[in-house]
Amino acid sequence: MKKILMIAVILIIISSIINAQDSDPDYNHGIDLYKAKNYKSALESFTNAIGNNKYNYSAYIYRAICNMNLCNYNKAHEDVDIVINNNFKLDWAYNTKGLIYQNQYKYETSIMYFDKAIEISSKYFTAISNKAFSLFNMKRYSESKNLLESIISLDSTYYSAHVGQRFIAEDIRDYLKAIEIYRYVIEKDKINKVALYHMAKVYIELSNLYTASKYLDQLYELDKEYTDYYNMRASIYIINDDYENAKLEYEKILSFNDRSYRTFLRLAYISRLQKNYDLAKEYFKKAYIINDDYYYFYVDRSFFNYELNNLENSLEDIKTAINLNIYNCYIHFLYIFFALQSSDKELKNSISLLRKDRNLFMENNWQVNLIDFFLNKIKSEELLKKAGDLRQNLCEAYFYIGTKYLMSNDKKSAKEYFKKCIETKTKNYIEYQLAEIYLEKN
C-alpha cells in the first residue's frame, strides 16, 4: 500500500511540474523566441523559467540547444548534464547531448548518446536519424543508409530520412540519385526547406543555374531568413565573378544573425580574393571570437596565411583543422600540399597520417581513388579515367596530380595541371582556390 501511495505522490508531483512549465509565461515566450531563431533572447527567457521552477527540465534542454546554436558548447553540456543526472530516462536529453557532440565534430561520442536515447525509446526517429548523420560524417555510408531505411520502413512519411539518404548520394556525387530523392521529398512535402535548398545546391554543382534559381525562389517564399538561401545566391554571384553582390547576400544574413561565424568566414574569403587582406583579417577575428572550434575557420585561415607567404602558420592551421575533424580526407590532402612546400619531415608526417586512418575514405569510391593515387597504388591516367566528365572530380584530380608533381619537384608539370584545375571553373572547391593562389605566387 505504501508503494502505491508513493507512486501516486510521484505522479502528482510530475503532473504538477509539467502543468507548471506549460503555464509559465517565461517558458512559453522562450519557445516562441526559439522558433524564431532568436537564441540570445530565448536564453534569457529559459533562464527565467528555470528560476521559476528548478525542475523544469524542458527549459534546461531548450537553453542547452540555444547555447549549442550560439556555439557555447560547455554551457550547453552543463544544462543537459543537470537533466540527465536528475532524470536519467529522458530520451530527449540524451539526444540533445549527442547533438552537441555532433556539432563539435565528436562523432563517436555523439553516437554513444544517440544510442542511449534509442535504448530508452526504440522508435525515437530523430535520434536514429541523428545517429545516421554522425555515421555519414564518419564515411560509414552503409550503416548510415541502413538506419535511414529502417526509419522509412516504419514511417514512409518521415521525410528527414529520405533527405538523409540524399546526403549519401550527394557526398559520393551521384547527383541524379540525389535529385530523384529530393524530388520525391518535395512532392510529398512542398514546404521542406532542406530538400529545396539541396535541390538548388545540386543544380549549382551541375552548372544549371536557371533551375537552381527556381528552387531558391521557392525557398525564399517560405522563409526570408533561411541562411542557406543567401549562401546559395552568393555562390551563384561568385561563379559569375560578381563579388560585390555576393558580399551583399552575406551581409543580409548578418542583418538577422550577427553571430553567423560561417558568414564572417565567407566574407573573409571574398575579401582575400579581392586582395583586401586587412579586411579579411578583421572578418577572421570576428569569426574566431564567435567560434574557435569550427575546423573550416582554420582551413580558410591557412589559405590566407599561405597567400601571404606565412607557410609555417598555414601548416599549424591545417593541423588544428585535422584535430577538430579527422574524418575530412581533403584536409589531409591540404596538409600534404602545404607540407611538401615546407620540409621532408612534414611531408612524411602528412603521408603517415593519411595511411594511418583508413576510416577517412570508408565506402566513398572517389576518395579511395584519390588516396590510392597519393599512396602510389594507381597512376594519374587511371585517376583521370575514374573522374569521368564530372567537373568536381576533374578539379580535384588535376589539383592532386599537380601536387604529386610538386612532390617530385617538377614545378613546370605541376603548373600545367593547376591550370587545368582552374579551367574546370569549380570556384567553390578548395582545390580550385589553392591552385589559383599557387599560380599567382609562381
* Residue whose C-alpha is closest to residue 95's, from 67, 66, 121, 59: 121
247 vs 192 pLDDT, higher one: 247
Which pLDDT tens digit goes with each residue over 247-268?
Answer: 999 999 999 888 888 999 999 9
Average pLDDT over residues 80-99: 90
Spacing of C-alpha 48 from chain mean position: 32
Which pLDDT tens digit goes with each residue over 330-388?
Answer: 999 999 999 999 999 999 999 998 888 767 777 778 888 998 998 899 999 999 999 99
The residues, any chain, with a CB within 8 Å of residue 154's CB and separated by 6 or more, are 123, 125
Sorted by where each starts, the structural domains of the chain and their CATH numbers stand as: 237-288 (1.25.40.10)
Note the pLDDT of residue 178.
87
C-alpha cell at 208: 544549371
Does residue 4 register a pLDDT over 90? no
pLDDT band at 407 (very low <50, low <70, confident <90, very high): very high
Residues 143-166: b if buried by 16+ CB within 10 A, e if exposed: bbbebbeebbeeeeebbbbbbbbb
| DSSP conformation letters of 70-114 | TT-HHHHHHHHHHHHHH-TT-HHHHHHHHHHHHHTT-HHHHHHHH
Note the pLDDT of residue 20.
46
pLDDT band at 159 (very low <50, low <70, confident <90, very high): low
Which pLDDT tens digit goes with each residue over 266-283?
Answer: 999 999 888 899 999 999
| DSSP conformation letters of 370-399 | HHHHHTTSS-HHHHHHHHTT-HHHHHHHHH
